[in-house]
Structure 1
């Protein structure tokens, strides 16, 4: 299986997604748009598309961020959905999936930065891709916005600070507002990139400061992410067979 990553910034790294690709013997290709690497010309170039996060939003213009082309990414996502590829969006990536399918992103009720619990909804508990998940689990967070909902989208998990944490847009299309791919190395990159922002965030109830961020254990959320990705890869390969 070939997994293609769209990476918006060097500090928004694939983390545990890349570990899963390597450990499962899959191949990875990349569009590092922050160094102007092109997007795939066709969804036939990959089996799974993973669109990562970034400080941009789906409404960010080329004038505001010359290396980020939201319209082109939405077109690629739409093509991948139509071609029945697996598509996973993380944070900004999840918001881009919603936008590509006609559901604009929204502002989250709370800013979340750190590790906080999410809870599977009834739909999430019944969903085959999340069969190994506990009802409540700790995941990473680093956001102020959340994905839009299409008429057929299912919210599979929510948190106290954000009602849209995991969304199923289709049988092989998923948006994760939460960051289950976080590792200590990825979090350190994010802290270095945004260190000046933390002083202004004191008092936010869902924001951890850098020492707590670095002390978190990310291994269990990574393990659960691998379980989801295994199930998604299996379903995708069976569909393609």
Structure 2
């Protein structure tokens, strides 16, 4: 399979998503928009479109951030969805999926930066893609906002600080407000590019020393298993369409 990443900033790295793709010898391509790399003009060769996070929001203009073109990204996302490709959005990427489908993003009730539990909804517990998550799972967070919900969207998981942590827009399209891809290396990059001086004044924002002390391996493994299941779902669907 071919995996394409849209990466908005060097410190919002694909982490465990990239490790999964490489471990299966999938081919990879990138739109590192912060380096001026173009968005894909054709999604025919793409199986997974993975849209990463960033400090921008879906309404950030090009005047505010010259390398971020929200409307162009939403068009790519919509093309991939319409073509029955897998589309995964992480943080900003999740919000862009919602916007591409006509659902406006919103501010999260709480800012969350750290490792905190998410709780699966009844829908999430019953979805075969997420059964291995259990009812609750400790995952990474680094956000202020959350994705919008379409009429057909289902909330898979929520946290105490945010009611929309994982959203299923279809059986192939998912928004992850949480960051299950984080590794200590990625966390170090994020710390170096964010202001955490007010961490003590936010109940869901942890200090850099705490962030770097966490073990992220378990949530990474849960993510990899989800991706394996999702890949099988996608490949089965493609075979059925080709008959």
Cα distance, 1:202 vs structure 2: 2.0
Aligned to 1:71: 71
Aligned to 2:196: 198
Aligned to 2:42: 42
Residues 200-209 or 213-222, more deviating: 200-209
Aligned to 1:4: 4
Describe the SS at the equivalent of 2:129.
Answer: helix
Aligned to 2:181: 181
- Report whether the alignment pairs 1:19 with 2:16: no
Aligned to 2:120: 120
For the aligned residue pairs, the C-alpha RMSD in angstroms reads 0.7
Match of 2:214 among 211, 216, 236: 216
Aligned to 2:228: 230
Any stretches of 5+ residues in structure 2 without a counterpart?
Answer: none
- Report whether the alignment pairs 1:107 with 2:107: yes
**Distance in 2 separating the partners of 1:42 and 1:81:** 13
Equivalent pairs counted in the alignment come to 239
**Distance in 1 separating the partners of 2:218 and 2:197:** 29
Cα distance, 1:101 vs structure 2: 0.2
Cα distance, 1:237 vs structure 2: 1.0
Any stretches of 5+ residues in structure 1 without a counterpart?
Answer: none
**Distance in 1 separating the partners of 2:27 and 2:59:** 31
Describe the SS at the equivalent of 1:199.
Answer: coil
Divergent runs of 4+, >2 A: none
Alignment of 1:84-95 (within 5 A): 84-95=84-95
Describe the SS at the equivalent of 1:198.
Answer: coil
Cα distance, 1:146 vs structure 2: 0.2
Deviation per CA, 1:27-55, whole angstroms, max 9, x where unpaired? 11100000110011112131000000000
**Distance in 1 separating the partners of 2:42 and 2:123:** 32
